[in-house]
Structure 1
Amino acid sequence: MADDIPQLPPVTIVIEWENAIDVADEWTRKAMVALQDELGRVRFVEKPRILYLFDETKVPAGTVETVLEAVAPRMRELADVEIVPTPGLTYYKLKNFGVSRSRTGITLMLDSDAAPQPGWLEHLLAPFADPETMAVGGFTVLGTTDFLSRTMALSWVFNLPHQKAKTKRRSKIHVNNCAVRTDFFQSHPFPDLPAFKKQCVFWLRGVLAEGHKYVRTADATAIHAPHPGPRFLAWRAWTGGMDSDFLGFQTGSRSRAGRLAYAFRYFGRKTLRAWRNTVRHGGKVGLPKWQYPAAMLVSLTYYLVTLAGQLYSVFTKDWEPLPALYTGQPQGAV
């Protein structure tokens, strides 16, 4: 019955088109269809606004429109859709830019290759009933289709689909699936950092350090595209290693010896976690037992490349300390 359909407050949904450049088209299409279906399950106080943002120097004009018309033609009936070219903005800058253009009280962030699952909107917005809640993080899992994607689901930073209870306990935010109070975020955007993918880590540290409320909900689930092949994984491992050194410098030790020790601890911790997940949970993602040794070898290789990137960073990069708000460290820490 119509009365049973949840009625939700006005929202803006910001979606970058950066990830769509790398992943297989099927995942971008699945994400669009899933969002269209989710919009059709709920009612809004007023029509939601969707901003698709793309780097006009990398994505040909008309690309997003073509995909939208082909796979999700009802999207424009369900929401006010704007497709906005941006001049060379990358992932986090696209998110900041999108929220800066939002005119609703709450803004949601979703990746172009992340497919929201039924109930996503309702569960992501529910915590905002508490006026002290400034940000809400959903639960993102990697999609799995083959040996490599199953291996990386077991090895990656995301929890597995059956680990909702564990997810709720983690003070993490993945900006492929989250929501913020717009005015709060406009005054607290993601910091501009030399790291590739650590802006959200330090942003959340700053939010919590200032005493603002953040809620993690595992019921707002999105399925993210798997990594698109070995070459991409090698690049991601290398950049991840440099990011880890940046994190270690800011939150651990600022000496090269301390950063070196952090690199090996990180390698050991991540590799053991991946191996433990493979042995304990491989079957839950469809990985046959006879493939466990190969999966463990792949995860070891991935984190060896990460270690190489981290060691390269330790000996070649001189980072600048971030404000103590983001790190929890006094500025003179070594």
Structure 2
Amino acid sequence: MSKAPARSAAKKLPAVTIVIEWENAIDVEDKWTAAAMSALEREIASVAPRMAAKPRITYLYDTNAVEPGIIERTLEAVAPRLKDLADLEILPTDGLTYYKLKNFGISRAKTELSIMLDSDAAPQPGWLENLIKPFSDPEMMAVGGFTVLGADDFLSKTFALSWIFDLRSEREKTVKREKIHANNCAVRTDFFRENPFPDLPAFKKQCGFWLRDLSARGYQYTRTADAMTVHAPHPGYSFLVWRAWTMGLDRDYQAFQTATKSRLGRFAFAFKFFGGKVGKSWWRIWRNGDEVGLPVWQRPAAMLVSLGFYGIGLAGELGSAVARSFEPLPPPKPKAEARAKPASRKTVAA
């Protein structure tokens, strides 16, 4: 009987802070935000008996873009138990956008571990425990989860097959990719507070450059396919046009910082990316269409939509290569001497 308390204590999960921005929720259909909140409530309820303390959940929003009270009303309608299961905080900010909201939320965290979750990403069973499990290694600084795109109509099915997120069937591929997405990841709070997402002239590349810096400095991170979320799809064709254009601008910035400083080289980088993405998306549309319920007769149209999306991105990237100039990023800061152990990238089995 004396061993039972020890076994029980060993199963306790550490206290965490979950930071959720309310920027994505502005654009997507309400049903996806509601599904995300409901799923989070179910996930917290399932692990609550094993938590060392109630998790703190912080919703952050920009007062210039979000109607006051909308988060409270949505929670009351779709996840009323969340306020009892967690220490819930709904915090207004003045003008902060996606990555700055993440940085600000974690800067206020009091727990050893912090989790980033998007307002339109629905955690699946086992998400929280599997996302924080790798931190049993004291050298682990960050853990990335597995995000798939929700799909319920022609457009969303097309982009589930064409977008950057892997399919459910691609779990093994996911854990081998050296990427981390700010919509579903966990970090050591103190480390991230000292090393937040950088402020870059890019729309959606901060997490990629952050991970590149972390890896170059020898810190450990990993990905796990067992911490899965279902992310809302892109909300309509007009949004996709804008998203494709911004993707092109971001890709050109990435080309300059990671591949080539010459404008001609940036042109070549743009065409290489375009060809690779179109080829990959067309292959997945034909080979994996059944996985997301895309009928065969709709696949040629899906291929055309994908071609158009990446074509707009190509135009944005080429335009940026012609018109924009950048300054090189400074080299990564040296790794702290206190963590001088040789680094290796560990992967959690799928």
CA–CA distance in structure 1, aligned partners of residues 11 and 306 of structure 2: 42
Aligned equivalent of 1:311, options 305, 309, 318: 318
Aligned equivalent of 2:98, options 77, 86, 91: 91
Q: Which amino acid aligns with 1:92?
A: Y
CA–CA distance in structure 1, aligned partners of residues 141 and 297 of structure 2: 46
Identity over the aligned pairs, expressed in percent? 62
Q: TM-score, normalised by structure 2?
A: 0.91
Aligned equivalent of 1:197, options 196, 200, 204: 204
CA–CA distance in structure 2, aligned partners of residues 5 and 145 of structure 1: 41
What is the CA-CA distance between 1:325 and the residue it aligns to? 2.5
What is the CA-CA distance between 1:61 and the residue it aligns to? 1.1
Please name the residue that 2:16 is paired with.
11
Please name the residue that 1:329 is paired with.
none
Please name the residue that 2:67 is paired with.
60
What are the Cα deviations for residues 216-271 of structure 1, in whole angstroms up to 9, with x where unaligned?
00000000000000000000000000000000011111111111111111100110
Aligned equivalent of 2:151, options 144, 154, 159: 144
Compared CA separation, residues 295 and 86, structure 1 to 2 (3 A): same
What is the CA-CA distance between 1:7 and the residue it aligns to? 2.9
Please name the residue that 1:103 is paired with.
110
What are the Cα deviations for residues 60-118 of structure 1, in whole angstroms up to 9, with x where unaligned?
11111110111111001100000000010000000000000000000000000000000
Structure 1 moving runs of 4+ over 4 Å: 3-6
Size of the aligned set, in residue pairs, is 324
Could you say what secondary structure the match of 2:187 adopts?
strand
CA–CA distance in structure 1, aligned partners of residues 246 and 272 of structure 2: 18
Could you say what secondary structure the match of 1:158 adopts?
coil
CA–CA distance in structure 2, aligned partners of residues 224 and 6 of structure 1: 29
Could you say what secondary structure the match of 2:308 adopts?
helix
Aligned equivalent of 1:219, options 223, 226, 229: 226
Please name the residue that 2:87 is paired with.
80
Q: TM-score, normalised by structure 1?
A: 0.95
Aligned equivalent of 1:232, options 239, 242, 248: 239
CA–CA distance in structure 2, aligned partners of residues 123 and 235 of structure 1: 35
Aligned equivalent of 1:31, options 19, 22, 36: 36
Could you say what secondary structure the match of 2:169 adopts?
coil
Please name the residue that 2:251 is paired with.
244
What is the CA-CA distance between 1:289 and the residue it aligns to? 1.0
Report if aligned partners of 1:141, 1:224 keep a CA contact under 8 Å in 2.
yes
Matched, 1:254 2:247: no
Report if aligned partners of 1:99, 1:107 keep a CA contact under 8 Å in 2.
yes
What is the CA-CA distance between 1:279 and the residue it aligns to? 1.4
Root mean square deviation of aligned Cα: 1.3
Matched, 1:182 2:189: yes
Please name the residue that 1:160 is paired with.
167
Could you say what secondary structure the match of 1:8 adopts?
coil
Could you say what secondary structure the match of 2:209 adopts?
helix
Aligned equivalent of 1:288, options 270, 289, 295: 295
